[in-house]
Amino acid sequence: MRRIGRERSALVLVDFQEKLMPAIHDGPRVIGEACRLADIARTLDVGVIGTEQNPAGLGANVAAIRARCGETIVKTHFDACRDGLVEALARTPARATGPERTGAVPGAEVRDVVLAGCEAHVCLLQTALGLLESGFTIFVVEDACGSRRPADHRLATMRLARAGATLVSVEMVAFEWLRTSDDPSFREVLRRIK
């Protein structure tokens, strides 16, 4: 097992949709954690991609999530990889880290996908499995995922862990992306964590 590499990371927020979120157990907290995670990603220059499952039926992502995504993929498959997620990750530049922060690194590619979303046992699970099959290293942010029933959320995390995804929290991701308190963004990220 290895650390999450900010320079090779992207954040994917799966289906935080207007008509779905009221049914998600503890939905406002899950949205809050996803927003906090997205704000940390943006502070550290990590690309953020959203997905929306059949938005004609489930609505768009809630405004707070939609505003934080650089790109949103509309999908009909439960596995977003089947509707262009892998291609979107290829368009997301890997970033430089450290004090120099020079931006995109030519020739580098995203290999670590930090994943959060709903429902944990359907679209999040199938997207994670698709990304694993495509050769990505997956970090599922458990506290920024939700399902209608807590039992389904629990089963999804168990299956994801057995399939090879690493379960993490928002704070674990933040501090692994930072790596040091000398990072120029440390105070800003710390403010978002507290």
The reply to whether 143 falls in a domain is: yes
The reply to whether 11 falls in a domain is: yes
Question: Closest Cα to residue 68, out of 46, 30, 113, 38?
Answer: 38
Looking at every residue in the chain, the average pLDDT score rounds to 92
pLDDT in tens, 110-159: 899 999 999 999 999 999 999 999 999 999 999 999 999 999 999 999 99
Contact 114, 37 (CB under 8 A): yes
Residue at 173: amino acid letter: V
Could you please report the per-residue DSSP string of 89-147?
HHHS--B--STT---B-TT----EEEEEEB-IIIIIHHHHHHHHHTT-EEEEEGGG-B-
Q: Where in 142-181 does DSSP place strands (E)?
A: 166-168
pLDDT in tens, 32-71: 999 999 999 999 999 999 999 999 999 999 999 999 999 9
Q: Give the pLDDT score at 109.
A: 84
For residue 82, give its domain range. Answer: 6-193
Q: Is 45 exposed, middle or buried (0-12, 13-18, 19+ CB in 10 A)?
A: middle
The residue that leads in pLDDT, 78 or 110, is: 78
Q: Give the pLDDT score at 99.
A: 44
CATH for 121: 3.40.50.850
State the total domains in the chain: 1
The reply to whether 1 falls in a domain is: no
Q: Give the pLDDT score at 92.
A: 87
Q: Is the dihedral of CA 137, 139, 145, 147 positive or negative?
A: positive
User: What are the residues facing 170 on neighbouring strands?
Assistant: none
